Structure 1
């Protein structure tokens, strides 16, 4: 990022932070993709709360960005196990947060398994959670009870441009990985599993490239949507896998279980839009399959008479090439800052919440003034 671009980004976040200045003091923990442009957003979070730690998602860390952030904020190692054990989660948060009120800024529902225990331990001090992704939104929504407010930006209209552009980056990176091995998209029927925001974007982009696209989704409403947009809709997963030369997994849940992999057509490529722990049950794959790295980012799984390829170890394929969506990501980050003000202002009941349409309009107006040039 050029110096003038950094200055413009800092000015934008300064304006957003001032517009949504917090009404109370709180400590915060931030889970994020630590990409090259992320330090500016992290600085803005730190102006609106006492940022106790940044926890970067393991597969998306820019070394330069990490070094920049570490100068002012602790950067800790993140794993699912860190918050799946409530006692470990409570000990960690307590060691960093002290006696302050508490905000949890999440990407993917990491805090969800320990939320009840965190709320009990920090009774009256846990102001709430801010969740960025659809996968995380569903993790919180599926909890039996929500003990505190959860403000989700996952379904915000300000996130629509990001979702579309993430779809583009997924298709770009998938094609790049295939081309490294001398393969191309064309002539290879594709299966998109999941027809949500990302899956539908991926399906449309593949179709625009002349690829035959089949869609599979467990939601019958989404299947009707896919059919109305001209896609082939698979009746069942097994049949869809048999004919696919490329499988793109975009559910945010488990797309392929161990018993599904043997149904793949020989030489099929698999790529995902989230981490392998979310999308693929690789542990359930029959033990007769051997794994061989056949390229910088491609693993071949092979047994007698059958083989398939996995891109980027099953992790989000678009992060191989930076996963950049340009300045549109700053819309979502600004809404996260507005969510901080919403939680620190108090008055929200336990449950799922969203930023108001008025605040989203303020964000969009500010963004246009800085980036529509």
Structure 2
């Protein structure tokens, strides 16, 4: 048995909730599902079942750095169409979105809203009946559009946002950092940029692992929340940047660490990003990059050594494996439940626009995960 087959077998064994909700799906003949999402091992558990149930599936990625080529190859063998590979260049990434839309999907499963944005911003003809969106950045994009079909937001659910965002991103990010760098956070000053749910988890785990944590937040309400939680916190400033040994961006804002911020970084500082796409750190402002160990690059802006982790892309999935199997089992079972809903007459028949995924669709997943 090769390593991929072994790992996939273990994932299936551990992801019992996802398998349960997959088995409950009806036959899906006639469904054409286009996906723009992270193509890692855990996704196989759901996509393989969709294919077995009769759906046609087109796979595009929402982030080229998180693609696992062996996953794409395996799902192609099972019948999926795909235009995705690890570190694919920008023009091919854009081409994948075009190909997915031209393929004629009836339903969408997205992380970042690339497909829906392309359809609406370009005024493309579409036969899409309904879609799912899983990320805060995607929801922000969709709110600037006037959707022509129903799109269901499952990012804001307590069993997605309240579990994955709040607890798992922080844990898996620091696991990846420690494993790849062979360092710990003991004695290191960690600056967490952004105090949303992801930033909260990043801060908590950093402290648990021995780091001395400071929070940079520009929103007054979140800044106040950080201080009430006991963190030293303030707006981004040269002083906060200059003190930090490790800086983590968790904002969803492009260029939050740009050329001006780079001027203030101390020698030996690490830069990490946990945002959905690789634009929170302006990598170009760091100058020439030289890999010193896998997923760690040395740069020399302003004559100081600064280490870039995971190329400035999503740290926990680019340099690591992301959420644990048991935790992501809840997330993926929720996605499958959402897909079952948009495949139904009720979901596909909803009025055009952005809607929360109905509570009754995901509450059974929550109950099963909680054992009640």
Shorter-chain TM range is 0.7 to 0.9
Q: How many residues align?
A: 354
Single out whichever of 112-121 and 194-203 deviates more from structure 2: 112-121
Tell me the equivalent position of 2:290: 292
Q: What are the equivalent positions in structure 2 for 1:352-363 lying under 5 Å apart?
A: 352-363=354-365
For the 8 Å contact 1:250–1:272, the answer to whether it is kept is: yes
4+ long deviations beyond 6 Å: none
Single out whichever of 17-26 and 213-222 deviates more from structure 2: 17-26
Tell me the equivalent position of 1:171: 174
CA deviations 1:317-344 (Å, max 9, x no partner) are 2232322422221222222223223333
By how many angstroms is 1:290 displaced? 3.5
CA deviations 1:157-192 (Å, max 9, x no partner) are 11132231221010122233333xxx5422221110
By how many angstroms is 1:265 displaced? 1.6
By how many angstroms is 1:193 displaced? 0.7
Tell me the equivalent position of 1:42: 47
Q: Is 1:70 matched up with 2:66? A: no
Tell me, in whole angstroms, the C-alpha distance in 1 between the residues paired with 2:153 and 2:289.
39
Tell me the equivalent position of 1:340: 339
Tell me, in whole angstroms, the C-alpha distance in 2 between the residues paired with 1:292 and 1:5.
34
Distance change (3 Å), C-alpha of 1:62 and 1:323: same
By how many angstroms is 1:3 displaced? 4.3
Tell me the equivalent position of 2:4: none
By how many angstroms is 1:113 displaced? 3.2
Tell me, in whole angstroms, the C-alpha distance in 1 between the residues paired with 2:92 and 2:133.
18
Tell me, in whole angstroms, the C-alpha distance in 1 between the residues paired with 2:17 and 2:276.
31
By how many angstroms is 1:74 displaced? 1.7
Structure 1: stretches of 5+ with no match in the other structure: none
For the 8 Å contact 1:298–1:309, the answer to whether it is kept is: yes
Q: What are the equivalent positions in structure 2 for 1:196-275 lying under 5 Å apart?
A: 196-254=196-254, 255-274=256-275
Tell me, in whole angstroms, the C-alpha distance in 1 between the residues paired with 2:198 and 2:251.
9
Q: Is 1:111 matched up with 2:115? A: yes
For the 8 Å contact 1:89–1:118, the answer to whether it is kept is: no
Structure 2-normalised TM-score?
A: 0.83
For the 8 Å contact 1:84–1:113, the answer to whether it is kept is: no
Distance change (3 Å), C-alpha of 1:305 and 1:106: same
By how many angstroms is 1:244 displaced? 1.0
SS in 2 for 1:322: coil
Q: What are the equivalent positions in structure 2 for 1:139-218 lying under 5 Å apart?
A: 139-141=141-143, 143-159=144-160, 160-163=162-165, 164-179=167-182, 183-218=183-218
Single out whichever of 49-58 and 329-338 deviates more from structure 2: 49-58
For the 8 Å contact 2:173–2:316, the answer to whether it is kept is: yes
Tell me, in whole angstroms, the C-alpha distance in 1 between the residues paired with 2:329 and 2:191.
31
By how many angstroms is 1:20 displaced? 5.3
What is the root-mean-square deviation of aligned Cα atoms in Å?
3.0
By how many angstroms is 1:45 displaced? 3.2
SS in 1 for 2:218: coil
By how many angstroms is 1:196 displaced? 1.3
Tell me, in whole angstroms, the C-alpha distance in 2 between the residues paired with 1:84 and 1:218.
32
For the 8 Å contact 2:137–2:276, the answer to whether it is kept is: no
For the 8 Å contact 1:29–1:53, the answer to whether it is kept is: yes
By how many angstroms is 1:155 displaced? 1.4
For the 8 Å contact 2:60–2:97, the answer to whether it is kept is: no
Q: Is 1:279 matched up with 2:280? A: yes
SS in 2 for 1:277: coil
SS in 2 for 1:190: strand
By how many angstroms is 1:14 displaced? 5.2
For the 8 Å contact 1:191–1:216, the answer to whether it is kept is: yes
By how many angstroms is 1:276 displaced? 5.9
Tell me, in whole angstroms, the C-alpha distance in 1 between the residues paired with 2:13 and 2:212.
44
By how many angstroms is 1:271 displaced? 1.0
SS in 1 for 2:83: coil
Structure 2: stretches of 5+ with no match in the other structure: 1-6
Tell me the equivalent position of 1:314: 312
Tell me, in whole angstroms, the C-alpha distance in 1 between the residues paired with 2:277 and 2:39.
19
